[in-house]
Structure formats: C-alpha cells, structure tokens
Amino acid sequence: MEVAERVCTRIGIINAGRLVMEGTPAEIMNAVNAGSLEDAFLRAIRLRMRLGAYWRVCDHESLGARRPCL
C-alpha cells in the first residue's frame, strides 16, 4: 500500500467484487479521514460492511473522490 500511495495517481478499492471507492490516494484518505492508504482501505471496507444493503457510491465533486452516500 505504501508503494501505491507514492506511485499511483488514481486508485480503486474493491471489496467482494464491488467498487467501494476510487480517487487519488489523497482523496481516498480524506474521504474516510485516514492517515495512510492502508488505513483508508480498512476503514472503507469496514464502512461498507456496516452499511450493507444501504451502501451506494456517488460522486462528490467537492472532493473529487467517489465515496459512500446515504
């Protein structure tokens, strides 16, 4: 994850075959208030599991990242 955080310009987080979140590493970390991409990955997956069927992804232009929307 550290290498992806330094090298990648865009990242997608996939869980159980579904796109959970996508954006730049900074956008993803900001969206879930995480200090590292690894922490952001874990937080995004936990959030997805907690929300279950109520989860959908929408585009937040203000952040530029795709993140959970209720």
Q: How far apart are CA 60 and CA 66, in angstroms?
A: 6
| pLDDT tens digits, 27-56 | 999 999 999 999 999 998 888 777 765 555
Which one-letter DSSP state was computed for residue 35? Answer: S
pLDDT value at position 49? 77
pLDDT tier at 60, thresholds 50, 70, 90 = very low
Percent of the chain at pLDDT above 90? 36
Domain boundaries, the chain: 2-68
Report residue 19: phi and psi, to 5°: -75, 115
**pLDDT above 70: residue 17:** yes
